[in-house]
Amino acid sequence: MAHYDLIIIGSGPAGRAAAIQAGKLKRKVLVVDRKDRLGGVSVHTGTIPSKTLRETVLNLSGYRERSFYGRSYRVKDNIDAGDLKARLHMTLDHEVDVLEHQFNRNHVDTLLGMAKFVGPNEIEVATEAGDTSRITGDKFLIATGTKTYRPDYVPFNGRTVVDSDEFLEMSEIPRSLVVVGAGVIGVEYATMFSALDVTVTLIEPRDSFLDFIDSALISDFTHQIKENGVDLRLGSAITQIEDAGKHVEVSLENGRHVRADMLLFAAGRMGATDKLGLEVVGLKTDHRGRLEVDRKSYQTKVPHIYAAGDVIGHPSLASTSLQQGRVAGCHALDTPTLGESPWFPYGIYSVPEISTCGMSEEEMQEREIPYEIGVARFRETSRGQIMGLEHGMLKMLVSLKTRRVLGVQIVGEGATELIHIAQAVLNLKGTVDYFVKNTFNYPTLAEAYKIAGLDAFNRMPIPDEFKVKKKP
């Protein structure tokens, strides 16, 4: 029976980072995952596909150039599902190829199949061919990620009523689309297909959406997506979803009906832990199948079993999962390592993009931190004018007491790239003075930091060293 120092179940961002780290430490490591899933949800149905799809949509539709050439401008007149999938499959094949190469280079063993615990230090792996093999390990990392939440009242058929995994396999682009759930996934797909001029209705039972984002940004974002044609229905609970053959009928609590060619159900995800046999090792999950861990070491309640990535819940980002996997791998193999930075960015790849780092205005108020705001609009920058940006803004929150920058929120083109400047300043405990003194390339969107910094600086009390000395 084969024995390993570390056995990793799942090969998404967390599993991949832990495996490569263990390989670099010259330990014997095994990654177990399904044949069609090397790379995990992130590569096959999550992060990479949705971002590739977004890029394809924006390029083929000519969306970015419409402010110059008019709303009817197209790069390709008749865009079909095949156009969207072509780039998708190329990207996915490349990602899997890179991953396999990384594993080979770092001497990471892989085994394709479904794993479950049969003892504290032993797993059984069932392959597609029907064979089973048993393997023992000193330490284990559960990095199985999440799967789509599929409630009974939704008549999924893989054609007109789909979840976010099935959505990518559509045979044709629908003329109208209902998206249920205004979380990150729902918002990304809704705005993406609205850019393709699909009639999109976004339904959210709650009265608000993306609550972790600053409300000023959400109001700007809401204005933009409505302008782009998304019909946003907040506070609308669904009473019935009816599969009517060639279309879908949705009945809402307020008595209204929505009809569409396709319905995408994107209201939440569940931890993919139900088939792992966790009861054998004495581990329990919460109501959404997620595991509880110590957030510094990523150990579960069973010391030799670790968990990282989306399976442990918040923040459920590919970026944080990579970091968690590396830290968990080091801790499991008794190797000291650098911890995680206190501030990490959130990126939502909608149309337009949203990205934040640090505190929101609501958090500042809750904590009773006295603050000032600096705002910059992309249309005020020369680069924004060159790109034809009519919308987009950067908001900076600065402590009045310490002058430290405590939060930055961006909505608009390039937000997910621009946010890293804020992240560096936040983690290095920088002040608003940095942005006032700093010189940015011209013309760039990054200049928005200077504009927002000056905006905040000019509203704040003048520091003593800058006060004009009165002559006696």
Residue linked to tokens 């061919």: 129
Pick the CATH number of 346-461 from 3.50.50.60, 3.30.1310.10, 3.30.2010.10, 3.30.390.30: 3.30.390.30
Q: Are domains 3-148+270-332 and 346-461 of this chain identical in fold? A: no
Q: What is the pLDDT of residue 471?
A: 74
Band (374; pLDDT cuts 50, 70, 90): very high
Does residue 358 have a pLDDT over 80?
Answer: yes
Residue with tokens 């680069």: 383
Question: Is the pLDDT assigned to residue 351 strictly greater than 80?
Answer: yes
Q: Does residue 307 contact residue 298 with C-beta atoms inside 8 Å?
A: yes
**Which of 51-65, 68-82, 224-238, 345-359 has the weakest average pLDDT?**
68-82
pLDDT tens digits for range 396-444? 999 999 999 999 999 999 999 999 999 999 999 999 999 999 999 999 9
Over residues 55-64, the pLDDT tens digits come to 999 999 998 8
What whole-number percentage of the chain has pLDDT above 70?
100
Strand order through the sheet with 230-234: 161-163, 262-265, 176-180, 199-204, 230-234
Average pLDDT for residues 148-169, to the nearest whole number?
92
Mean pLDDT rounded to a whole number for the chain: 93
Give the separation between CA 255 and CA 198, rounded to whole angstroms. 24
pLDDT confidence band for 45 (50 / 70 / 90): confident
Chosen CATH of 161-267 out of 3.50.50.60, 3.40.50.11740, 3.30.70.1560, 1.10.150.120: 3.50.50.60
Residue ranges of domains in the chain: 3-148+270-332, 161-267, 346-461
Residue 259 banded pLDDT, cuts 50, 70, 90: very high
Q: Tell me the per-residue pLDDT of 79-137, one tens digit each, with 9 for 90 and over.
A: 999 998 888 889 988 999 999 999 999 999 999 999 999 999 999 999 888 889 999 99
Residue 472 has pLDDT above 80, yes or no: no
pLDDT confidence of residue 40: 84
Predicted pLDDT of residue 37: 73
What does the pLDDT average to over 213-232? Answer: 94
Q: What's the pTM value of the predicted model, to 2 decimals?
A: 0.92
The closest of 317, 283, 298 to 6, measured between CA atoms, is 298
Binding residues: 51, 181-188, 204, 268, 310
Q: Taking residues 182-211, what's their average pLDDT?
A: 95
Give the Cα separation of 454 and 470 in Å (integer). Answer: 25
- Please give the Cα distance from 176 to 264 (Å, whole number): 11
Among 222-226, 267-271, 354-358, the range scoring the smallest mean pLDDT is: 267-271
Which residues, 6 or more positions from 316, have their beta carbon under 8 angstroms from its beta carbon?
Answer: 146, 269, 310
Answer whether 178's CB lies under 8 Å from 248's CB.
yes
Confidence (pLDDT) at 2: 92
CA distances from residue 4 to 20, 110, 207, 301, 334 in whole angstroms, order as listed: 15, 12, 50, 21, 15
Residue ranges at the known binding site for FAD:
51, 310
Binding residues for NAD(+), by number, are: 181-188, 204, 268
3-148+270-332 CATH choice from 3.50.50.60, 3.90.260.10, 3.40.50.720, 3.30.230.10: 3.50.50.60
